[in-house]
Amino acid sequence: MLVMKFGGTSVGSPEAMKQAASVVGKMKSRYEKVIVVTSAMAGVTNRLIAAAKAAESGDLSTYQEAQKELLALHMSVVEKLITDEYEQATLAQWFKDRLDELGRLCQSIAVLGELTPRGLDVVSGLGERMSAPLLAGVLRSMDIDAKQVDATRLIVTDNSFGNASPIMDTTCEKCRQVLVPMLESGTVPVVTGFIGATKEGIPTTLGRGGSDYSASVIGACLDADEIQIWTDVNGVMTANPSVVPGARTLPRLSFTEAAELAYFGAKVLHPKTMLPAVEKEIPVRVLNTFDPDGPNTLISKDGATDGSVKAITAIKDMSLINVEGKGMIGVPGIAARTFGTVAKHGISVLMISQASSEQSICFVIPSESGRLAVKALEEEFARELARRQIDRVEIMENVVVVAVVGAGMRGTPGIAARLFGALGEHGLNVIAIAQGSSEANISLVVTKEDADETVRRIHEAFDLSGTESGVSATSANRI
C-alpha cells in the first residue's frame, strides 16, 4: 500500500492538479492500494490566515476579497479539468459552502475582536477541505475511483491548537475503520492534510506544513509500504542548487541524516513529521510532481552507508553570542545559568561550542533574539561582570551556520582535515565549530559574506557533484 502526499504547488493550478492526478493514476496501476493526502492549493492557507487576522482588527474586506478569489481559483480547476455537469455543480456548491463558512467565522472573529488559536484552526483548515474534494473530482474525471475523506474523521489530536499532536492509537483505529474498506473496494481515498480534530470533535491543525505529518501518521497506522512526498523539486539535494550549480539529488538518506538536514534549515521533511514513519521504519520518498521520472530521494532507516559527507546546508540570519572571561575557569554553573537564561526567554539555541580552556561559551541563536539574549545574560551575570570573572557578553550578528551532514562521517578519519583544509586554502575563516555526538554532522559558523563560498568549497572538496561519494545520475532512483 502506498501513501502519496501532494504539496501546495503540486495542486496549485489546473495544470499542476492534472499532473498530480496523472501521477496518482500511474501509481494506482503499480500499487493496488493508494491513499492520497493533499495540501491546500498553493497560497490558500496564507490567504485564509490573513483574512482571519484582518477580521480580528475589524477589517472585513480582506475575507470578502478572499472569498471571491478562492472561489475563482478552485473553479478554474473545475472548469479546465472536469466536464461532468453534476460534478461541476456539486463542487461549486461545496466551495461556496466552505467560503460562506469562512464569512461566518470572520464575522464572529470581528464581533469578538479576538482570534483564538481554536478559531484560527477552523479557518486555516478550510483550504484542505476545498482541495481534497477537488482533487478527488479530478481523479474521477480521469476514471480513477476516488473519494474525499475529511481528516477530522481520522486524525484524533490533543487540543494544542495550531500545533496539535495526533493520538496514535485512536487515530490508527479510525484510519483502519474508514480507509481500509475504501481501499479494499479499489477506491482512492483523498484525505485532507494538515487537519485533525480533538476527541470531542473540535477541529485542530498539525502546524504549518503539517500535511507531511498527516501522510506519515496515516502511513504508519496502515503499515504502508512507502510514503511518497510529492513536491516541486527533485528530492533532497547535496546543496542548494542556486548556490552550488553542480548540486545534485541524493538518491538515499538515512532518517538521521534527513533530520540533521531539516534541523539546519534544508527543505527536507520536518523531523517531527517523519517520526511516525521512522518508528514503523516505513521508507519515505521525496519526488517531483513535475518530473515524476526524474531523480528522487529515498529516506529510510539505513539510508546508504556509502560516502562520508552527503549534503551541505546553510542557515542564515543567526547571531553568535559569546560569554567570555578568564575568571570563568572552574566556576561551576556558568554554562547552566547561560542556557537557563536563554531558555527562560524562549530562545532556541541552534548550536553550542565551548573551548576546552573554559574561557568562553559560545552559541548560535536566531538573529531576532540576539539583543534580548545579550541583555538577559548581562542581567543574569551582573555580579560576575562587576567582579570581572566574566569579561563580556559579546554578540556577532549576521552569521551563518553551515552544516555538513553525512552519517558516514562517523569513524571516517580525515574528514575534518579535508574540510578545514579546503576552507583554509581559500582563505575562508571559520568562526566557531561544533560536532554533534551523532557524528552525522559538523557545523561551522561563518560570516554572511563567506557563506556561499564556504558551501561551494566544501561541496567541491568532497566531490559531491561527481560520483565519488554518491551514486551517479544514471544509477539514481527510478520509480
* CA–CA dist 10, 17 (Å, integer): 6
- Between 5 and 140, whose beta carbon lies closer to ligand ASP? 5
Among 6, 8, 296, 407, the residue binding Mg ion under the rule CB under 5 A is 8
192 binds Mg ion (CB under 5 A): no
DSSP for 130-160?
A: HHHHHHHHHHHHTT--EEEE-GGGT-EE-S-
- Between 194 and 462, whose beta carbon lies closer to ligand ASP? 194
- Between 209 and 327, whose beta carbon lies closer to ligand ASP? 209
- At 13, the amino acid letter reads S
State in angstroms the smallest separation of the CB of 45 from Mg ion: 7
Per-residue burial over 301-334, b = 16 or more CB atoms within 10 Å of its CB, e = otherwise: eebbeebbbbbbbbbeebbbbbbebeebeeeeeb
- At 386, the amino acid letter reads A
Burial label for 18, CB within 10 Å (0-12, 13-18, 19+), is middle
408 binds Mg ion (CB under 5 A): no
Query: Phi then psi for 283, rounded to 5 degrees?
Result: -65, 145
Cell of 429: 575563516
State in angstroms the smallest separation of the CB of 265 from Mg ion: 16
* CA–CA dist 224, 218 (Å, integer): 8
- Between 130 and 261, whose beta carbon lies closer to ligand ASP? 130
39 binds Mg ion (CB under 5 A): yes
257 three-state secondary structure: helix
Q: What is the pattern of x (binds Mg ion, CB under 5 A) and - over residues 143-182?
A: ----------------------------------------
**Partners of residue 94 on adjacent β-strands:** none
- Between 192 and 198, whose beta carbon lies closer to Mg ion? 192
* CA–CA dist 87, 218 (Å, integer): 28
Q: Residue 192 binds what, of ligand ASP, Mg ion, none (CB under 5 to 8 Å, by partner type)?
A: none
State in angstroms the smallest separation of the CB of 36 from Mg ion: 15
Q: Residue 194 binds what, of Mg ion, ligand ASP, none (CB under 5 to 8 Å, by partner type)?
A: ligand ASP
303 binds Mg ion (CB under 5 A): no
Residue with cell 532556541: 348
Cell of 69: 478569489
State in angstroms the smallest separation of the CB of 180 from ligand ASP: 24
Interface contacts to ligand ASP, rule CB under 6 A: 8, 39-40, 45, 127, 193-194, 208-211
Q: Residue 210 binds what, of Mg ion, ligand ASP, none (CB under 5 to 8 Å, by partner type)?
A: ligand ASP
- Between 127 and 166, whose beta carbon lies closer to Mg ion? 127
214 binds Mg ion (CB under 5 A): no
- Between 44 and 236, whose beta carbon lies closer to ligand ASP? 44
Residue nearest to Mg ion (CB): 8
CA distances from 279 to 158, 273, 300, 301 (A): 20, 11, 11, 9
- Between 110 and 299, whose beta carbon lies closer to ligand ASP? 299
Q: List residues binding Mg ion (CB under 5 A).
A: 7-8, 39
